[in-house]
C-alpha cells in the first residue's frame, strides 16, 4: 500500500506576508544581492536602502511620515508572547527618532532606523525569526 505524501506544514499568514514582501522587493536585485539580503547582510548601499524601505512599507509597518510602527511590529511578529514589549517599543521608537535626525530622505531614514534596531535585542530576534521564515520553519 502506498504511503500518503506528507503535506508541508502550513505557514502562518505573517510568514507568508514576509515572504511576499521579500520576493516583491528583491525582484530587481541581482542573485548575489538577494543572497546578501537573505543572509541579513545590510550594507548602507542605495539598493539595500530601497529594499529595506520597500520591505517594511509593503508590510505596512513603515510609514514615510512617522517611521516604524513599533506597536504594529510587535503585534505582527507574535505580540508580547514572542517579543519583550518593554524592550521592543523603546528600542524601535528610539531608533526611529535617532535615524530621522541624521537621515537624508525616507529610504535613508528607514535604512538607518532598521540598522539601529538590528543592533538591539529586537534585531537578534528579527534575524532568528527571518531565518526561520526563509528556511520554512515559521
What the chain holds in terms of domains, given with CATH numbers, is 13-134 (1.10.238.20)
Pair 22, 39: CB distance under 8 Å: no
Separation between Cα atoms, residue 112 and residue 98, nearest integer Å: 9
Does 99 have pLDDT greater than 50? yes
Q: Which three cell numbers stand for residue 124?
A: 537578534
C-alpha cell read off for 102: 541624521
C-alpha cell at 42: 545590510
Give the integer Cα–Cα distance in Å for 64 and 66.
6
- Full DSSP string of 57-104: HHTT-EETTTEE-HHHHHHHTTGGGTS-HHHHHHHHHHHHHHHHHH-S
- Confidence at residue 90, expressed as pLDDT on a 0 to 100 scale: 96
Does 61 score more than 80 pLDDT?
Answer: yes
- Whole-model pTM: value is 0.86
Amino acid at each position: 500500500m502506498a504511503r500518503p505524501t506528507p503535506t508541508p506544514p502550513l505557514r502562518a499568514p505573517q510568514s507568508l506576508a514576509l515572504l511576499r514582501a521579500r520576493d516583491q522587493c528583491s525582484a530587481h536585485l541581482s542573485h548575489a544581492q538577494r543572497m546578501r539580503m537573505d543572509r541579513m547582510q545590510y550594507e548602507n548601499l542605495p539598493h539595500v536602502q530601497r529594499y529595506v524601505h520597500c520591505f517594511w512599507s509593503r508590510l505596512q509597518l513603515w510609514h514615510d511620515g512617522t517611521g516604524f510602527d513599533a506597536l504594529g511590529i510587535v503585534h505582527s511578529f507574535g505580540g508580547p508572547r514572542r517579543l519583550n514589549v518593554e524592550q521592543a517599543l523603546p528600542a524601535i521608537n528610539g531608533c526611529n527618532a535617532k535615524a530621522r535626525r541624521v537621515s537624508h530622505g525616507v529610504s535613508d531614514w528607514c535604512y538607518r532606523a532598521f540598522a539601529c534596531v538590528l543592533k538591539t535585542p529586537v534585531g537578534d530576534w528579527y534575524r532568528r525569526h527571518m531565518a526561520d521564515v526563509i528556511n520554512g520553519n515559521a
